[in-house]
Amino acid sequence: MKLGCRISPCFRGDGGFEEFVAFCGELGLDAVDCPTMNAEIAACCEKHGMAIGSVDGMFFGMQSDDPAERERAAVEARERVDAIAEHGGKVMFVAIGAEDPSMTRAQAFGNWKQSWPALVKHAEERGIRIAVEPWPGPPAPRYKATLGCTPEMLRAMYEAIPSPALGLCYDPSHMVRLRSDYRRLLEEFKDRIAHVHLKDTVIYDDALYEFGTLGPCIGEQPYKYGGAYWRYAIPGDGEIDWKWVLGRLDDIRYDGVLSIELEDHYYADTPELQKQGITKAAEYIRLQLAG
């Protein structure tokens, strides 16, 4: 397994990617997740001795009710797959949502079953795995018709498209947020894991009592990267047993990237804090791997 990092907000913008890759090199990381893929980005990774972890493939139109929009997005998606393959990548990261907030997940899934089989076949032919993240969408009550965010949905997706090219980005933080079981998810879908995000979740029991899972009706959500009763955090600051997670990934011989994803209210406001959060996360994960 390689230890890597997903780009944080302080590195986004002109010139930020090379600064991000250099920072990861200074931390002794092995890989970086890339927001896109082209010759310049591939050369930057090679220059700093970094493996390519995943490459973003964020396109929502393939779940549209409009066949023309689905086809437009499908062309874009195939082009993204081709670019990744041509420049040495192996994994395309996706969170599968719908731009129409009124669409149900069932409606989005129906459209997905029409548009995605050809994309997955194309990815398989190019040697690319698509890693679906079980991200539920924005905090309640603004959920989108996000697919792949529950075991029920993942099971249905893998039954509809059995190809191993359709994989999973295992991110246990989302299961904790949903009050589901991140251990059971890993066990059930261990053969689908194509990428891993290292992110934790804090649960606030008093807020669960106060609001349930619905969130407050008076006032605003209290946390960046969170909701009323939960917030994402760096590994080690939340509910997840990382020694168990890393041990099981080793048991199943996962040989991909473990990618730190910084989404933490307390390490968000300045570039210095974001770098501190990534550094602290890397140190914590290394301790768990060594122990």
Task: Give the DSSP letter string of 21-84.
Answer: HHHHHHTT--EEEESS--HHHHHHHHHTT-EEEEEE----GGG-S-HHHHHHHHHHHHHHHHHH
pLDDT for 217 equals: 81
What stretches in the chain show pLDDT beneath 70? Answer: 59, 140-143
pLDDT for 219 equals: 72
| Residues 2, 40: Cα–Cα separation, whole Å | 23
pLDDT for 72 equals: 94
| Residues 73, 233: Cα–Cα separation, whole Å | 33
pLDDT for 60 equals: 75
